[in-house]
Structures are given as structure tokens and as C-alpha cells.
Amino acid sequence: MLCLFDLDGTLIDSEEGIFGCVRHALTQMKAAIPSDAELRHWIGPPLRHNFAPLLDHDAERIEQAVQHYHERFQTHGHREYAVYPGIEALVRALHAAGHTLAIVTSKTLENAAPIIAALPFGSLFVRMYNPDARSAMSEKASMIAAALIDFDIDASQAVMIGDRKYDIEGAIANQVHSIGVLWGFGDRTELEAAGAHDIAADTQELLALLS
């Protein structure tokens, strides 16, 4: 089985780093900073999508904010995360069982690569799929499609695991089985509304579904 994993909210809790970079960018732009509850919804969609309403949909200001975000991420944000409990054991068990593992993330390659390289189990993921750094759209569907082509497998032999509706919608667009997880930044209502085939409350439940 090809197991495609989202990164933020699925493998790692990246709230600290993302919140810090968003606050930095908006401070530099002299814009209002959302509450923590509002910022949780920033994890999943593309940055430009989230910055737009706070910056009057001004394309130039949005690009400046994105640049400020990435500048802080490169110096601080890529270290500000924690691996969710049970994830390392889950990944190692799946690898030992012969599953092929890959990452499909909304993070750019520049931002995601140092995180994966630092994970003690990061080398078990054979590929990583990232969006175009200039995109304001969720590209989960196109990244999943690219994975199916790269690994030359039928959609029935793949599964997408993630915590937000974008992961589920991307899987459904490719007729790939989807599993939503509840320890990240989405919730059961969001995942069910998106059409998740299964939902796992913890890593043991996820492992059972994948077995």
C-alpha cells in the first residue's frame, strides 16, 4: 500500500512555528493579528488564501507578507514543532510491514525539507510532494495524482492520511481512500463533511485501519 501522509497536524504539531511566523508577517505589515482560535484555521490552506482578507486582497502586500513569513520560518519556524505521540512507532511499523510511505504537504519544499531531514524517521518516507511556492490554491489533488503516477499504482492501492478537509478532498478527487485523523487541526465534523472514508482518533486506531 502507498501511504500518503500530510505533515502539519498529522505527523507534527507545528502550531508554534506557524503561529509565530504568521504573527511576525502581520506585524511587519502593520496588520491585525487574529486570535489563536482563528489562527488554527490557517494550518492547511495556502498562506496567500489566509493573508488575502487581512491585507485587503492587495496582491503586492500579500506577497510581502508571504516573504516575511518564509524569512522567519527559515530562521526559527522550522524548529518550532513537536512530533505527535505514537507517530514514530506508527511510521516504523508501517515501513516494517512493507508499506511505501510518502508525504503530501502544503508546505513548500524549502520549508518542509529541513523538518523531514531532522525527524528520526524521516528517511522512511521515500518521496515528498509540495505545492508550487507561488500558488494560492490547495494543490493536494494534483500532488496525490502525481504520486499515483510516480509510483505507477492504481488509486485502490493508495491511502491519504490527513487532519484537514483539503487532504480528504484531494484523495476523493483521485478516488483514493482517505483517513482523517483527530489529533490535528481539523475536527470530526469537518472531516465527515469532506467525505472521509474513515476517521482515526489515535495512532493505534490508524494503524489498525491501515492493517
Among 2.170.270.10, 3.40.50.1000, 3.40.50.300, 3.40.80.10, name the CATH number for the domain at 2-13+82-210: 3.40.50.1000
Other C-beta atoms closer than 10 Å to the C-beta of 204 total 12
CA distance 25 to 34: 12
Task: Output the tens digit of pLDDT for each of the chain's 211 residues.
Answer: 999 999 999 999 988 888 999 999 999 999 999 998 888 888 877 888 889 999 999 999 999 999 998 899 888 878 889 999 999 999 999 999 999 999 999 888 988 999 999 999 999 999 999 987 676 566 899 999 999 999 999 999 999 999 999 999 999 999 999 999 999 999 999 999 999 999 999 999 999 999 8
> Domains of the chain: which residue ranges?
2-13+82-210, 15-79
Which residues, at least 6 apart from 136, have a Cβ–Cβ distance to it below 8 Å? Answer: 46, 48, 49, 52
130 C-beta neighbours (distance < 10 Å), count: 19
Cell (9 digits) for 120:
528520526
Q: H/E element holding 83?
A: strand 82-83
pTM greater than 0.75 (yes/no): yes
For 15-79, CATH number out of 3.40.630.90, 2.30.29.30, 1.10.150.240, 3.60.21.10 equals 1.10.150.240
